[in-house]
Amino acid sequence: MTAAAREGGPPLVVVGAGVMGTGITTLALAHGVPVTLVDVDRAVLDRAEVAIARNLRTAALLGAAPPDTPPGALTSVTSLADALSGTEVVAVVEAVVEDPATKADVLAQVSAAVPAGTPLISNTSSIPVDELANAVSRPEDLLGTHFMNPAYLITTVEVVPGARTAADVVAAARKFLGELRRTPIVVRDSPGFVTSRLLHPMINDAARLVQEGVASADDVDALMRGCLGHPTGPLRTADLIGIDNLVDALDVLHRRTGDERSRPCDLLLAKVRDGHHGRKSGRGFYEYEEALP
């Protein structure tokens, strides 16, 4: 079954209407998949709906959405129970904050509410999947993914089976990602997987150079773009990730690997304290005209 053929059929449920939740929702809708988006805060959902509409226009303009596929229908609700009760779903994607306890709580609720065999997908950038699997009633149904931001434009996705993930769940996730025109790359479960294990300490080092007065954020990014081919620069990437999310992920990496390069530097911690979370707040290493959900 193609993704477009799912229109009007069982929805994908996305839990968490922040930056990643809205991006994953946009991706699915753009490929004709209906989505139920869940967040406990109605105001967050309202902002997300505006962002998703804008993202869908951007995806269409950039050729990131199939031109012959009408967008899927979006439903937004504040109750996870309402989203899952008595409803068949394609899969559930958990996209809440990068905090192990919060993710475990959401996944436990989802696992208790959906039938066995429903893929439970945690979109995590750093937390080992088998650790999260301890919270669910059926560890074989749990799989990790790491979508990059913006998920509706970046076409490669890390796929992370845990030690107890069933092979058919991995196969189903890979098939669904293929229907969304994504390239899934399966990696072994570990803290940070591949992309975060490489990228996040590098961003931390870049922020530390700014903290020490070696160079400005703009100059660090210009050197990384011009000399080393980084497409945006590490500090503008930090703004796109969300500096609060970055610090959470670095903290997970530091605690689980002992790598001192992953201990969040003082400048990152100060930006989080000051509410300068990057693109979504309107200010991070750079200033933006408009904050995004």
Question: What mean pLDDT do residues 202-211 have?
Answer: 98
Q: Give per-residue pLDDT as tens, 122-136.
A: 999 999 999 999 999
- Please, what are the domains in the chain? 4-186 (3.40.50.720), 195-273 (1.10.1040.50)
What pLDDT is attached to residue 1? 31
In our burial notation (b when 16+ CB lie closer than 10 A, e otherwise), range 219-228 reads ebbeebeeee
Q: Which two tokens stand for residue 170?
A: 């991995």
**Reported confidence tier of residue 73, pLDDT bands at 50, 70, 90:** very high
Residue 5: pLDDT over 80: no
**Reported confidence tier of residue 229, pLDDT bands at 50, 70, 90:** very high
Q: Which residues contact 29 (CB under 8 A, 6 or more apart)?
A: 35, 52, 56, 71, 72, 73, 74
Residue 244: pLDDT over 50: yes
> CA-CA distance, 4 to 84, in Å (whole number)?
22
In our burial notation (b when 16+ CB lie closer than 10 A, e otherwise), range 92-104 reads bbbbbebebeebb
**Reported confidence tier of residue 293, pLDDT bands at 50, 70, 90:** low
Residue 6: pLDDT over 70: no
Q: Give per-residue pLDDT as tens, 144-166.
A: 999 999 999 999 999 999 999 99
What pLDDT is attached to residue 180? 97
> CA-CA distance, 148 to 133, in Å (whole number)?
22
Question: What mean pLDDT do residues 172-199 have?
Answer: 96
Residue 7: pLDDT over 90: no
Phi, psi (deg, nearest 5) at residue 60: -65, -45
What pLDDT is attached to residue 292? 63
Q: For all residues of the chain together, what is the average pLDDT? A: 94
Share of the chain above pLDDT 70, in %: 96
Beta-sheet pairing, 35-38 with 74-77:
parallel
- At residue 86, what is the residue type? G
What pLDDT is attached to residue 3? 45
Which pTM does this prediction carry?
0.90
Q: Which two tokens stand for residue 24?
A: 């994953």
β-strand partners of 287: 283
146 given a catalytic annotation: yes
> CA-CA distance, 36 to 88, in Å (whole number)?
12
What pLDDT is attached to residue 222? 98
Around Cβ 9, how many Cβ atoms within 10 Å? 13
Q: Which residues contact 112 (CB under 8 A, 6 or more apart)?
A: 137
The owner of tokens 């790598």 is 259
**SS3 assignment, position 125:** coil
What pLDDT is attached to residue 85? 83
Give the residue among 120, 114, 123 at the shortest CA–CA distance from 20. 123
Q: Which residues contact 37 (CB under 8 A, 6 or more apart)?
A: 14, 17, 21, 22, 25, 45, 48, 74, 75, 76, 77
